[in-house]
Chains A and B, each alone.
Chain A
Amino acid sequence: MRRGVLLLGGLGLAASWVGGCGSRTALEILPADAPAGYCDADADCFLEDLCKTTGCVDGACKVLAETTCPSTDACSTSACDPDSGACVATPLTRDVDGDGSFAPLPGTRPGAQGSCGDDCDDTRAAAFPGGAEVCDGVDNDCDGIVDNGELFLSPGALSGVPTVTPVATPDYEASARRGIAFGDGKFTMSYSARKVESHGYLSGVDAYGQPAFGQRPVTQANAPSFGATIEWSGESFGAAWSDARIDQNYEIFFSLFDTNGEKLSADVRVTTAPSFSLHPDLLFDQGRFVIVFDDRREDDRARVYGQLIDARGALLGGPLALSPEGNETESPSVAATATRLGVAYTSLFDLDRVGLEFRTFDKQLGQPSNPLLLTDKDAGDPRVTAFGDAFLVTWDLYSLEPSNRGPGPAIWGALVSDSGALQLGPVQLTSGAQFARSHDVVSLGDRVILAWSDDFDGNYEIYAKVLDRKLAELEPRRRLTDEPADSVGPLLALSDQGSIGILFDDRRTNKPAAYFMRLGCSAPLP
């Protein structure tokens, strides 16, 4: 037989073309160089690609037509499937958490016109429009509020000092907290631990504080490292950290980890600066990781940069300068509202004055707002937290003035719109202590939980309070640790089981170590 093709689908092909995108069973491919006279009839000609209609023209098989698939809506693309010949629509957005609601397009609010998605949190299946709100640390109904009306700190929600457990295994001389995130039913914690020198590790506990997985290294490098800032993507944990494996110089690296702390991807080198790259902060937002950090690539002067990374851990473009030229800028923090990214950073105005600036960007880290100066002195350890449509910027007081070098008496904060305009403050958020330092914030949409350490009761202990949208107290200061040794540096993460995990440092066993404790929410008091 000269044709060398099977004719199983000849009729099917004709039928599918008439129908536009039907199915058929033809499987053979016609040779591309088939000579004239190769075919006798259209039925002799078919391709595996059912999106193309072939026919016998002057004895040669030719493509006569191709199926076109115009998009039928603005939220999907349409293409012909060569196996079936059918037009298949592909949504522009994803439903990663499988709750039936799609994430919005980057830079759009969930449910807004043109957003193509209404899921307010596509990393958690328990959050979708119409969901029933329960006390689980999740905005179940996507109304912008987590655990509506629930209390975390008041009597009834918190009885006594929470149980505290060490994070690192006891064979280490010292450990220190670095990051905590919740995903897939587990708090994953990152910390440094030292025998000869410090290295970064992960370990996990479940939402109730029970061990979930043991200590895992962040990196296999033997060079010093200090744990990672971590974020849950809905599928894996992203981690960013600095280590000195390269060029006798600290650089920023990124990797992905599964929910048992096992590494999923190669370490990605994020920075290539000739001097130190430090202080990475990490965010997962609308399908991408955002890392902000400071490095000293220009004349050994510190400046804040950002880098986008896709959910598989691949760099998206190169680093972008986020702070203006001029003052040295360091220690950035990043958060995201539905439409903008907010970044706060310290700014060195002169040798004795470290100020604080904030600006917002679009979701590509472009279109920056003008820097908003929140204070021109005594700022340290800034944090940014998305608070509804606004950003809550919080910071420690830390003076470098010769007469008074060290921490100040309170944590401060300000509310800034997503366009970068000051809405409220700056205001003092804590009081009653001589020294206050190292704080963190989680947002519940209509209120935030602020945790910090101060010496209100003599030595440094960890406290928490709840603030409303006017930064007024909803729940007053509650003491969370009670030890003769200093307890400092709380880092917070909301679970989806109605608890808040807190990772912190103290010396209760006479060696510096990282510890974990948790708070639970409960029904409001009668």
Chain B
Amino acid sequence: MVRWLISSGLVGLCLACGGSIEAGQDQDTGGANPWSGGSGPSGGAASGGQPSGGLTGTGGTQFVEEPCPDLPAPDPLVSCDPLGLEPSLACPAEYGCYATLNYPTERCAHSQFVSECRYLDATSVGEQGEPCAGPSDCKPGFMCVVGAGGGARCATLCPLDAADDCPDGLICGETDVPGYGVCY
């Protein structure tokens, strides 16, 4: 299963809630397989940490981290409004708007915000706290996150920078999708 973490409060939020978003296999990840490569102790260096020094331990590879330039973040790929607040960014009928994140593929790169309309099928019904394997397993207005101690779960999207409408007892916690939180 292809998964990516849109988490945001990986910890802050995930400890109590979850913080990563699931991107199901149906998601077009732009040709990059998030799970390709990268296992084994050399993965750290290969992924971008310039191995200048290379002190190798018995359990992994220690690499010296070269400072990254302060690169600008890529423009977000906005096709729709995941919160449904902007009518001009509404999805067509039978489609729902989902927020996800493209993780960096090169050293020092930023992640990239993506919102896109996805076809709603019979599985797109997950609500607060229901299990999911990817964003389309949740209803529009929800995000598939991991980290709550119960695997991946749908959670209600909420605006981090404004008052939220989270159900009683829940609060809006950050995810790694910039500006978007989930009720947890």
Chain A residues close to B by CB (< 8 Å): 173-174, 176-178, 192, 194, 196-198, 219-227, 229, 241-242, 244-251, 263, 265-270, 272-276, 278-279, 297, 300, 302, 307, 313-319, 328, 330-331, 346, 348, 351, 354, 379-381, 396, 398, 400, 402, 405-407, 434-435, 437-438, 455, 460, 486, 488-489, 505, 511-512
User: Does B20 contact A178, Cβ atoms closer than 8 Å?
Assistant: no
User: Does B62 contact A250, Cβ atoms closer than 8 Å?
Assistant: no
User: Contacts A222-B71, A222-B104, A266-B64: A249 and B15 contacting too (C-beta < 8 A)?
Assistant: no
Give bound CA distance, A266 to B57, whole Å.
13
**Residues of A with C-beta under 8 A to B65:** 219-221, 263, 266-267
User: Does A247 contact B47, Cβ atoms closer than 8 Å?
Assistant: yes
Chain B residues close to A by CB (< 8 Å): 1, 3-5, 7-16, 19-20, 29, 32, 34-41, 43-44, 47-49, 53, 55, 57-68, 70-71, 73, 101, 103-105, 107-111, 128-131, 146-151, 153, 160-161, 167-174, 176, 178-179, 181
Give bound CA distance, A506 to B54, whole Å.
42
Which residue of chain B lies nearest to A228 when distances are taken between CB atoms in the complex? B11
**Residues of A with C-beta under 8 A to B63:** 266-267, 269
User: Does A174 contact B160, Cβ atoms closer than 8 Å?
Assistant: yes
**Residues of B with C-beta under 8 A to A275:** 3, 35
B interface: dominant SS: loop
Which residue of chain A lies nearest to B57 when distances are taken between CB atoms in the complex? A315
A522 vs chain B, min Cβ distance (A) = 32
Q: Which of A222, A354, A379 has the most C-beta atoms of chain B within 10 angstroms of its own C-beta?
A: A222
Give bound CA distance, A398 to B172, whole Å.
16
A435 vs chain B, min Cβ distance (A) = 4
**Residues of B with C-beta under 8 A to A247:** 34-38, 43, 47
B177 vs chain A, min Cβ distance (A) = 9
**Residues of A with C-beta under 8 A to B167:** 406
**Residues of A with C-beta under 8 A to B174:** 174, 176, 192, 194, 198, 226, 512
**Residues of A with C-beta under 8 A to B7:** 224, 226, 250, 278
User: Contacts A196-B178, A245-B107: A405 and B129 contacting too (C-beta < 8 A)?
Assistant: yes
25 contacts between A and B (CB under 8 A): A222-B68, A225-B10, A226-B12, A226-B19, A246-B43, A248-B34, A250-B10, A269-B61, A274-B39, A275-B35, A278-B5, A307-B59, A314-B62, A330-B147, A331-B15, A346-B149, A380-B16, A380-B149, A381-B16, A405-B129, A406-B170, A407-B170, A437-B16, A455-B169, A512-B160
A225 vs chain B, min Cβ distance (A) = 8
User: Does A489 contact B3, Cβ atoms closer than 8 Å?
Assistant: no
Give bound CA distance, A346 to B4, whole Å.
21
User: Does A348 contact B151, Cβ atoms closer than 8 Å?
Assistant: yes
B109 vs chain A, min Cβ distance (A) = 6
User: Contacts A274-B39, A314-B62, A319-B59: A220 and B14 contacting too (C-beta < 8 A)?
Assistant: no
Given contact pairs A247-B37, A278-B7, A438-B15, a sample of 5 additional A-B residue pairs in the complex whose CB atoms are under 8 Å apart? A176-B173, A244-B176, A267-B65, A276-B146, A435-B168
**Residues of B with C-beta under 8 A to A396:** 16
**Residues of A with C-beta under 8 A to B146:** 276, 278
User: Does B111 contact A223, Cβ atoms closer than 8 Å?
Assistant: yes
User: Does A173 contact B39, Cβ atoms closer than 8 Å?
Assistant: no
Q: Which of B9, B128, B167 has the most C-beta atoms of chain A within 10 angstroms of its own C-beta?
A: B9
Which residue of chain A lies nearest to B64 when distances are taken between CB atoms in the complex? A266
User: Does B129 contact A400, Cβ atoms closer than 8 Å?
Assistant: yes
